[in-house]
A and B are shown apart, each in its own frame.
Chain A
């Protein structure tokens, strides 16, 4: 919404410096985004954080002038010479403006043309260059005629982008007066909150300013001159659904003549972002901007014709399902059955409050006009707007709630403007059908309420005083104020909601900045732990401590993108996703199901940047569940590593790359940090992983997830640059965490030395290290504290298909030093068990 300052001043006296006004509007909830200053000097010094832009017209160089005669140029057809009076003298001014051509060679004009005149030395914008480029007006000779000054276009003066012709001011513009005193202005761009649509008009804004400054509001004159013939006899109005169309007001004006509107009107429309059309159409737009009521003009003759010459009846009704209407922009709309139409006995005319129909729209030669000002159910209207995908100034206002009172005010104002700008005669009175009266709510609020909600002490009189400035009608009884909302706003509720609405209005006018700041001093709520958050942090911190980089991915993906984690023939079919109705792009149409896919996407994005990558993510995946409204959002942890095991350094010779055991080490450390026990890694097959380098992780027998080297066919689905082997894991975080004990026991630090023994054996390849360790642990007894694989060897000496494994066994007692005999007994037992249960040969110690 653009606030045109000169326009605002018609309704309220305001004499604040521009930055101060911008500040006060913003502190009222009407945030000023920028200020376009027209002709006046830009504020200097404290701008209160607002941006002001515009061209200053200094009083010596820019004046209102009059052209008394337009003469042909001796050497150029397109140029004219104007005899111009600037209040000080007469000048001959050269111009190529097309809108002065029509006066060329007509001799001295009966009625001089008022123009904006810039003298030699003026600083203004170059009208011929794109954008706004400043230039200084210099003496020049154009086609043999000397030119020192000029008649300006709006663009040259920084008013608008219009450079079609020069500005032709209204006849009453005072010749010789500095231009800034006549046209100087400021336009504030304001963002209006959704609950303050009442401020989407000059009068609406003026009300707020008047309330803030405690100044009276001047309403424009609403009386209508006497008319000819009764409007009531010229049209009937039938409202079929008052819930959707509570009020319909119509006025009739005959014999209008559409012409260009006064310059001031055109200028105000332009500054408000609307295009001037003609004096009839402009009147409806002007009044919408002035009072906030959208209006619609019908060609009355079309209505009469459609009624076969009888008195037309306007009927408002909901559309038939699928009913078709062509709007004035030529678009054919198929309507839903909740959309309200303005129709007559012959059929539909327009979409109520949204857009006029093609047939009954007014044209430049229309003379008899039926003017509609109506109020509509804003919820229903918004629903129709969304469905029809129409954006309009009228729709914007009506879909946020325009008070029914404004329907009449709007029609009255508009009829007055039409008479003034387009001539014609009114029919007597208005046709007003108002079947569903809007009850302005009355709400009681007490001093205690204000204290309880806002935290300030105000007397009932003070509360009433603030509300009265906003035109509430207030009654004070003891500590209670009973306030009735004024008949221009629909944002005040009843009961406890109305109380909150009033509290907001009191606080807003009192000033948020005056409300004290108080620390929370009430009793703390019961403290509850948040295990989920603690878990997230534990996982994140543990993985970071092992040198992994956390990533956070888009949750959006598409099935093809995700299915890259499978080899071509193993892509799953018919998997259910959380799917979007309105994806932002076709390749982001679902929410992810696989966190591994997210991490691999990130690995791919970075693979060419780095010779070493170790990434992880924790986060939800989204799994639709049959017969359940919302999907499950289980938390997972995914890890991906590729490239050099150690960061490279200038003397580091080890160029080894991450392999399965680096990844497994990370997973094991994570498990250690979680203090989970009963962990099993078992060789397993999973289509995403290398068949020989994949393990399933089980904790307490529960499947937690997989880890392994990506299957080469999966790696081939990505562009990992030079990285051919990628280690990856995808684990169920929720399950893992649920198995992690909240408390765990520590081992005492014993003063008695451990006994360490090495045990080497030859085993066939088919026996896994896990099996050997299981047997050792099972027979080692409580004195055996640790079993650690420290060497693995294959070679001719031990025969093909065999491997040599060496374990370091640590025995320790908590209360004494162990002797060789005790340890020897355990060792013999272990060796016996190994050789009996597994097909291994323990090498005798040397």
Chain B
């Protein structure tokens, strides 16, 4: 072996030693030490150019080139090793951070609307899509608006249909329905055509039980125009029933009586609890009484300021609590205003 190749031999041996040592290293700091040892300023590979004079002139370029090859080979190996070490260190770290994912989560404090706010909004929303606007009126009403102007004169037998809370102020009652809003909206909007929903709290003087409340939400519709027929009443309410209870739901209209509508009807919706087969929710009838309705009585139109020879209209009324009770199988209407959070938080 000549003197010229001994530098190369030395480099080869060095490379072998470096690679061997590198293979056994596992930590980043060891790798740093290794870099200082084999690729640092004083490392042999870096010092080789200073030792080139030891070699013959003509061999020097070859040695230099070889040294550069060794250097980049080691750097490449180091980089590879570094990646591997980092990956395994990360792996180790992550596995140390493992959670028991079955532990319960921390609940944020979630707020909720009262269920009846939600359902009322839903019903109003459906009617809003059909062009109906919300109109509100007072809960404490005069006998005039609650009865007289709605074609329910004093002492008329139709008054038996409403058990009324009277206040100590003469001729002032707690409204028994949202219908006073029919007169109020007509008087407010006359002579424009009307399409409104009248939601709100109403009151009935009766003993409370699972199905009867002294305070309940009603929602009425009123349409007034020059070409409104019973066919529109049917079309509107059927569409509502489909949007509220499902496209396939069947409805039926049968004659009924309300003093402020004529013809009057009751709309039944096929029981969505049992699909019409009969169950406790529908009293095994297969039908649910959902809403009373009818063409606006001429007297009511007149009292609202509309000429019944020119205008026609229809009205309909729904009980909002009843809808919720059917939908969520609530068996006691008194739950709504008791506000037990164990009830409210279920929605």
Separation in Å of the A390 CB from the closest CB of chain B? 14
List, sorted by A's number, 10 A–B pairs whose CB atoms are closer than 8 Å: A49-B278, A194-B157, A515-B230, A515-B231, A522-B226, A524-B195, A543-B111, A549-B344, A553-B339, A649-B106
**CB under 8 Å from chain A, chain B span 250-282:** 252-257, 262-265, 276, 278, 282
Q: Sort A-B residue pairs by CB-CB distance and give the 9 closest, nearest first.
A: A455-B231, A29-B255, A455-B229, A193-B257, A547-B109, A504-B263, A544-B111, A581-B166, A649-B106
Assess the A605–B168 pair: CB atoms within 8 A. no
* A631 engages B205 (CB within 8 Å): no
| B61 CB–A CB distance under 8 Å | no
- The closest CB in chain A to the CB of B266 belongs to A31
Give the chain A neighbours of B208 by CB distance below 8 A: 584
Q: Are A528 and B295 CB-contacts (below 8 A) given A28-B255, A51-B284, A579-B167?
A: no
Partner of B285, one of A49, A401, A580: A49
B327 at the interface (CB under 8 A from A): no
Tell me which of B136, B155, B171, B215 contacts A383 (CB under 8 A). B155
CB contact list, A503-520 vs B, under 8 A: 503-504, 507-508, 512-513, 515-520
Q: Does A532 contact B (CB under 8 A)?
A: yes
State whether the Cβ of B239 lies closer than 8 Å to any Cβ in chain A: yes
Stretch of A82-90, A410-418, A607-615 at the chain-chain interface: A607-615
Chain B 270-314 against A: per-residue CB contact (8 Å), 1 yes, 0 no?
Answer: 000000101000111111000000010111000000001100100
Q: Does A540 contact B (CB under 8 A)?
A: yes
Are the CB atoms of B298 and A580 closer together than 8 Å?
no
Chain A's nearest CB lies how many Å from the CB of B4? 64
Tally the A-B contacts, defined by beta carbons under 8 Å. 273
**Taking each of B109, B195, B230, which has the highest tally of chain A beta carbons within 10 Å of its own beta carbon?**
B230
Let me know if B15 is at the binding interface, CB within 8 A.
no
Please provide the chain B residues from 228 to 257 with a CB less than 8 Å away from any CB of chain A in the complex.
Answer: 228-232, 234-236, 238-239, 252-257
Other contacts beyond A499-B298, A606-B341: 15, CB < 8 A = A195-B257, A454-B231, A455-B229, A501-B262, A503-B263, A518-B231, A525-B195, A550-B117, A552-B336, A553-B339, A554-B214, A554-B337, A580-B166, A584-B165, A647-B108
Asked whether, in the complex, the Cβ of A455 is within 8 Å of the Cβ of B230, the reply is: yes
> A454, B230: Cβ atoms under 8 Å?
yes
Interface core residue of A401, A533, A584, A609 (most chain B CB under 10 Å): A584
A452 close to B139 (CB less than 8 A): no
Query: Which residues does chain B contribute within 8 Å of A761, judged by CB atoms?
Result: none
Partner of A540, one of B117, B139, B203: B117
Q: State A522–B228 Cα separation when bound (angstroms).
A: 8
From B27-35, B69-77, B79-87, B186-194, the one touching the partner chain is B186-194
Inside 8 A of A622's CB, which chain B residues have their CB? 139-140
Bound together, the chains give a CA A507 to CA B117 distance in angstroms of 37
Q: Is residue A737 within 8 Å, beta carbon to beta carbon, of the partner chain?
A: no
Cβ of A453 under 8 Å from chain B? yes
B114 on the A face (CB < 8 A) = yes
Known: A630-B142, A649-B104. A520 touches B157 (CB 8 A): no
Interface residue? B13 (CB, 8 A) = no
Closest to B253 in A: A512
With beta carbons under 8 angstroms apart, the residue of B105, B153, B255 that contacts A508 is B255
Most buried by A among B104, B207, B232: B232
> How far is A615 from B111 in the complex, measured between Cα atoms in Å?
9
Instruction: List the B side residues contacting A318 at CB < 8 Å.
Output: none
Q: What residues of A have a CB within 8 angstroms of the CB of B231 in the complex?
A: 454-456, 515-518
Whether B109 and A646, one on each chain, are in contact in the complex, defined by CB atoms closer than 8 angstroms, is: yes
Mask of B116-149 contacts with A, CB within 8 angstroms, 1/0:
1100010000000011011110111110000000
Q: Is B169's CB under 8 angstroms from A610's CB? A: no
Number of interface residues of B (CB under 8 A): 102
Tell me the residues in window 92-122 of chain B with beta carbons closer than 8 Å to chain A beta carbons. Answer: 103-114, 116-117, 121
Contact of A620 among B116, B139, B339 (CB under 8 A): B139
Q: With the chains together, A578 CA to B110 CA distance in Å?
A: 36
The answer to whether A497 and B299 touch (CB under 8 A), given A552-B336, A584-B205, is yes
Q: Within the complex, what minimum Cβ distance (angstroms) separates A176 from chain B?
A: 39
Whether B234 and A522, one on each chain, are in contact in the complex, defined by CB atoms closer than 8 angstroms, is no
How distant is the Cα of A614 from the Cα of B108 in the complex, in angstroms? 13
Flag A535-549 by CB within 8 Å of B: 1 or 0 each: 001001101111111
Quote the shortest CB–CB distance from B175 to chain A (angstroms). 11
Pairwise interchain contact B157-A400, C-beta atoms closer than 8 A: yes
Surface stretch bound by B, among A374-382, A679-687, A787-795: A374-382
User: When the two chains form their complex, are residues B257 and A29 in contact, meaning their CB atoms are under 8 A apart?
Assistant: yes
What B residues does A606 contact at CB under 8 A? Answer: 339-341
B301–chain A nearest beta-carbon distance, Å: 9
A389 to chain B, nearest CB (A): 13
Q: Say if the beta carbon of B50 comes within 8 Å of chain A.
A: no
From known contacts A454-B229, A508-B263, infer whether A513 and B253 are also in contact, taking CB-CB under 8 Å.
yes
Instruction: Count residues of A near B (Cβ-Cβ below 8 Å).
Output: 104
Contacts A497-B299, A552-B339 given; does A584 touch B256 at CB 8 Å = no
Chain B residues near A526: list those with CB within 8 A. Answer: 192
Report which of A518, A548, A578 forms a contact with B232, defined as CB distance below 8 A: A518
Please pick, from A497, A508, A555, the residue contacting B201 in the complex, using a CB distance under 8 A: A555
Question: What 1/0 mask marks residues of chain A from 374 to 398 whose CB sits below 8 Å from any chain B CB?
Answer: 0000111011001000000000000
Q: Which residue among B169, B193, B262 has the maximum number of chain A CB atoms within 10 Å of its CB?
A: B262
Q: A272 near B: Cβ within 8 Å?
A: no
User: In the assembly, what is the distance between CA of A475 and CA of B66, in Å?
Assistant: 126
Expressed in whole angstroms, the Cα–Cα distance for A507 and B299 within the complex equals: 20
The interface bits of chain B over 334-347 (1 if a CB of A lies within 8 angstroms of the residue's CB, else 0) are 00111111101100
Contact B236 A549 (CB under 8 A): no
Interface contact A194-B214, CB-CB below 8 Å: no
Contact indicator per residue, chain A 182-211, by CB within 8 Å of chain B (1) or not (0): 000000000001111100000000000000
A379 touching B156, Cβ below 8 Å: yes
Query: Which partner residue on chain B sits nearest A534 by CB separation?
Result: B134
B167 touches A605 (CB 8 A): no
Write out the residue numbers on chain B whose beta carbons fall within 8 Å of the beta carbon of A51. Answer: 283-285
Q: How far, in Å, is A681 (CB) from chain B's closest CB?
A: 23
Closest to B234 in A: A517
For the complex, is A480 an interface residue (Cβ under 8 Å from B)?
Answer: no
Q: Complex formed: what's the CA distance from A537 to B208 in Å?
A: 30
Whether the pair A194, B257 counts as a contact (CB closer than 8 A) is: yes
Q: Does A629 contact B (CB under 8 A)?
A: yes
CA A507 to CA B295, docked complex, whole Å: 12
Q: In the assembly, what is the distance between CA of A652 and CA of B103, in Å?
A: 13
Pick the residue among B109, B139, B239, B286 that contacts A614 (CB under 8 A).
B109
Q: Which residue of A is nearest B286, CB measured?
A: A49
Whether A610 pairs with B341 at a CB distance below 8 angstroms is: yes
C-alpha gap A605/B287 in the complex (Å): 37
Chain B contacts of A580 at CB under 8 A? 165-168, 174
Q: Are A504 and B168 in contact (CB under 8 A)?
A: no
Q: Which residues of A contact B183 (CB under 8 A)?
A: none
Contact B285 A50 (CB under 8 A): yes
Interface presence of B315 (CB below 8 A): no
What's the Cα separation between A322 and B194 when bound, in Å?
Answer: 51
Q: Is the CB of B308 within 8 A of A554?
A: no
Does A496 count as interface, using CB distance less than 8 angstroms? Answer: yes
A500 within 8 A of B: yes
Does chain A have a CB within 8 A of B210? no
Tell me whether A533 and B111 are in contact (CB under 8 A).
Answer: no
Chain B proximity mask over A558-600: 1 for CB below 8 Å, otherwise 0: 0000000000000000000011111110001001000000000
A818 within 8 A of B: no
CA distance A615 to B287 in the complex (A): 38
